[in-house]
Structures are given as C-alpha cells and as structure tokens.
Chain A
Amino acid sequence: MTESMYEISYEKDRDALIVRLPKEVDHHFSQGLKEVTESYAVMGQVRCIIFDFARTEFMDSTGIGILLGRYKFMRALGGTIALANVSGRIQRILKIAGIYRIIPNLEWDMKEQ
C-alpha cells in the first residue's frame, strides 16, 4: 500500500479535468480538492470534471458534499461533472444520497473516450 493511494491526483485532458480520487474519500483525504478544481476550472478552461473512483474503496458523506459542491460550481460556469469506475460499495453510497436523481448522465465510461 503506497502513500500515493491516499492522495488525490489531477490530470487535464482537453477540456476535462480528471480527478483521481484516493483510496478513502473522507474529510481528511479530500482537503484541498475544492481549491485545486476551482483553479483548474477558471485558469485551465475546464468544462467537465471527471471523478475517477478506480482506486476508491471507502467513501462517507464527505464525498457526497464534494460532488454536489463541484456540480453546482461547474453548472454556474456552464459545465458539468461526471463519474467513472464506480464500484458497488460507492454506488450504494451514491444511491442512498440520491445523487443520480440530482445530477443527470453521471456515469462516464473512460474506455469509450
């Protein structure tokens, strides 16, 4: 288990920002995400933030707050967010929180792009 699994990493691909979420998405491991995505969106002309859950095994309601917050922020700029590689446990958390009803067309298949 490497320390980097707990870190968020960011990668810009054309007008999308891919946020690779850490192994555990909680209040501690998510600090700084708001500021970094905002600077990318404003400075880097990002239209869509894609949250990649490939490494993520745990998420609490902090993750829901992040997604809703980033969705509102991107909508205000005329953009949106999408989710990729969502596993069973994370999907359950998202369903309970009603995320799929709030944000349309959320699932993103990275292989097709």
Chain B
Amino acid sequence: MDTQERKQEPLERRETMRVELESYSHNEQLARVVVAAYMTRLNPTVDETEDVKTAVSEAVTNAIIHGYQESGETLILRVSSVGGELQVEVEDHGVGIPDVEQARQPLYTTSTEGERSGMGFTFMETFMDQVEVRSAPGSGTLVVMKKKIGA
C-alpha cells in the first residue's frame, strides 16, 4: 500500500457483521431482528430502526422467494457501519434478475397469483438513502443499501 492510499483510509474502523441464513420464510423476521440489534450502537431513532427493518425485510424476502424459491439455500447478510452510516448487503446465489431496471419499477412483479404488490424495491428506495442492485441470471443478486443514522 503506498502513502497515497493510506491517507484515504477512514479514521473510524468499519465494523462488519456477516450472517448466513437459510432461505426459509421464518428467517425474514430473524434478519430484521439481527440488523436492528446491530443498529442499536448507532443510537437510531425508532423511525430509523423501523425504516431499516422494512428495507431489510424486502431484500431478504426477495432473496428467499425469488432468488432461491424457498429452497433453503444460504443467503448472506452483511451489516457494517462507518461514521454513522449503516450499510446492509443481502446476497444470494440464486436465479438472478434478468432486467434489474424493470424489476425496480413500482408495481412490477413476476408473481402471477396477484398477491405480491411489486413494491419491494420501492420500499427499499423509500426507506434507505441509497440502494444498489447487482444481478446476473444464473449467478445471483447482491443488494447494497446505505442509510445515514442520526442524520
């Protein structure tokens, strides 16, 4: 590492938690609770905690029901923070999304039974400051969400 790079290192260390969850629907709640527990060190407001829990629920539900079709395969939840900014990553190695832009449109859903709202990505975008989606058919999906806590 040269001197130039060293200067750009953040002063506060990034604290990272990595949790593996089996893709069963009962783990949606566990994912929310785990992220909420991590967040307590950032002294969030009740609204901030609820916002993040909702966004996490959307991303994890997508991974479980779309990515893995509830097969029980492992999804990865990474939570980190630096300088009061929370970052949550939800990663699956499932079917992937053919057209990410289309999937992010409000009300877009692949569900044919009419019981899914298609609001998942809209909720993630509403409740977090930044949402990035990387996906490729056959290799999986990574959702990276950021939110400044106590802003």
CB pair B26–A28 under 8 Å, yes or no, is: yes
- Report Cα–Cα, A24/B50, bound state, in Å: 12
CB pair B53–A58 under 8 Å, yes or no, is: yes
Other-chain residue from A65, A93, A96 in contact with B116 (beta carbon distance below 8 A): A65
Interface of A (DSSP majority class): helix
Max chain A Cβ within 10 angstroms of own Cβ: one of B58, B118, B119 = B119
Tell me whether A45 is interfacial, beta carbon within 8 Å.
no
CB pair A62–B29 under 8 Å, yes or no, is: no
CB pair A26–B115 under 8 Å, yes or no, is: no
Tell me whether B87 is interfacial, beta carbon within 8 Å.
no
Tell me whether A31 is interfacial, beta carbon within 8 Å.
yes
- Report Cα–Cα, A66/B25, bound state, in Å: 16
A-side interface residues, number (CB < 8 Å): 21
Tell me whether B61 is interfacial, beta carbon within 8 Å.
yes
Number of CB contacts from chain A to chain B under 8 A = 66
Tell me whether A34 is interfacial, beta carbon within 8 Å.
yes
Tell me whether A64 is interfacial, beta carbon within 8 Å.
yes
Tell me whether B57 is interfacial, beta carbon within 8 Å.
yes
CB pair A89–B50 under 8 Å, yes or no, is: yes
Tell me whether A44 is interfacial, beta carbon within 8 Å.
no
CB pair B61–A26 under 8 Å, yes or no, is: yes
Residues in chain A near residue B113, CB distance under 8 A: 34, 69
Residues in chain A near residue B50, CB distance under 8 A: 58, 89
Q: Chain B residues in contact with chain A, CB under 8 A?
A: 25-26, 28-29, 32, 50, 53-54, 57-58, 61, 64-65, 109, 111, 113-120, 122-123, 126
Q: Chain A residues in contact with chain B, CB under 8 A?
A: 24, 26-29, 31, 34, 58, 60-62, 64-66, 68-69, 72, 89, 93, 96-97
Of the A-B pairs whose beta carbons lie under 8 Å apart in the complex, a sample of 24, sorted by A's number, is A24-B29, A26-B25, A26-B29, A26-B57, A26-B61, A27-B28, A58-B50, A60-B120, A61-B58, A61-B123, A62-B116, A64-B119, A65-B109, A65-B111, A65-B115, A65-B117, A65-B118, A65-B119, A93-B54, A93-B123, A96-B123, A97-B117, A97-B119, A97-B122
